């Protein structure tokens, strides 16, 4: 088999995999514009009726806003904690370093159901009410490993001689961090926070244990609607979620990524 044939097979296989991954999303988007009361494919026409119903439904908009607030708060908390943790684990040696590093990855390995139950029991034991802070703490726990691993990888590839040069030129440690180190590792930090935002925004399993009626998130609201009344408006809401969790991060990564590269150059 020649190299050209192998390359064509690789491209075809990759395209086929992406096709089956993206096909369900494309179908949901197309059905969301279908004027029919029933989900049918291909669509029988074009209508924005279900989007109008979605954007005039207070409960839907409230759940979408709750998801945005929680995802934003969680990504910020995970960004700060992940940055500090990564610097500590890369720059310093201390007892139980490897063991503690493994602990940070546990949320990626343990079932979200277990984390949801355990965190609910712990926070309820100390008297914390199930509010936005409760959700942000829970989601931050789930997404922290993703920020930690991206920032740590960025730090391992960072040339510390640049910091030494800044210090030798009269900058103190704080100035060196904000003017030299942070801009250099910012691409990894931003990537980790964007990933944390997307995961938090779509998190469903553990969130079931943490929400109250006033803090219901979009995935929980969709699940509730599917169980009680299957309406075409669900497809419109699902399309909005797809745009938020896929398109928006891609745009932010493209815009912020270029700016960060320029600043770190």
pLDDT tens-digit series, residues 205-233: 888 888 887 888 888 888 887 777 667 77
Q: CA nearest 130: which of 206, 49, 181, 60? A: 206
> Alpha helices, DSSP H only, in the chain?
3-31, 49-55, 58-91, 97-104, 106-109, 112-125, 132-156, 161-168, 173-176, 182-202, 218-228, 233-242, 248-264
120-164 pLDDT tens trace: 888 878 877 778 888 898 899 999 999 998 888 888 877 777 777
Label residue 38 exposed, middle or buried (CB < 10 Å: 0-12, 13-18, 19+). exposed
Label residue 72 exposed, middle or buried (CB < 10 Å: 0-12, 13-18, 19+). middle
Token reading at 239 = 């399309």
Predicted local distance difference test score (pLDDT) of residue 210: 85
pTM, rounded to two decimals = 0.80
Domain range annotation of the chain:
58-264
Taking the mean position of all CA atoms in its chain, how far away is CA 245? 8
Token reading at 264 = 């770190």
Q: Domain 58-264 in CATH: superfamily? A: MetI-like (1.10.3720.10)
């Amino acid at each position: 088999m020649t190299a050209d044939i192998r390359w064509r097979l690789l491209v075809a296989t990759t395209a086929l995999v992406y096709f089956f991954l993206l096909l369900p999303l494309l179908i949901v988007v197309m059905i969301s514009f279908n004027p029919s009361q029933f989900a049918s494919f291909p669509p029988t026409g074009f209508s924005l009726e279900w989007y109008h119903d979605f954007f005039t439904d207070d409960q839907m908009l409230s759940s979408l806003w709750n998801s945005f607030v929680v995802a934003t708060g969680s990504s910020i908390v995970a960004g700060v904690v992940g940055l500090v943790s990564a610097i500590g684990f890369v720059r310093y040696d201390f007892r139980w370093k490897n063991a503690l590093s493994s602990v940070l990855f546990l949320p990626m390995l343990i079932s979200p159901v277990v984390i949801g139950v355990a965190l609910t029991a712990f926070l309820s034991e100390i008297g914390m009410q199930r509010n936005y802070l409760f959700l942000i703490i829970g989601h931050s726990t789930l997404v922290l490993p993703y920020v930690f691993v991206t920032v740590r990888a960025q730090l391992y590839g960072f040339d510390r001689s640049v910091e030494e040069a800044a210090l030798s030129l009269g900058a103190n440690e704080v100035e060196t961090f904000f003017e030299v180190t942070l801009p250099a590792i910012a691409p990894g930090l931003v990537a980790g926070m964007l990933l944390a935002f997307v995961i938090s925004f779509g998190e469903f399993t553990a969130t079931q244990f943490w929400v109250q009626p006033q803090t219901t998130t979009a995935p929980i609201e969709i699940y509730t609607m599917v169980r009680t009344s299957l309406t075409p408006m669900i497809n419109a809401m699902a399309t909005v979620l797809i745009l938020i969790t896929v398109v928006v991060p891609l745009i932010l990564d493209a815009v912020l990524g270029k700016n960060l590269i320029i600043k770190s150059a």
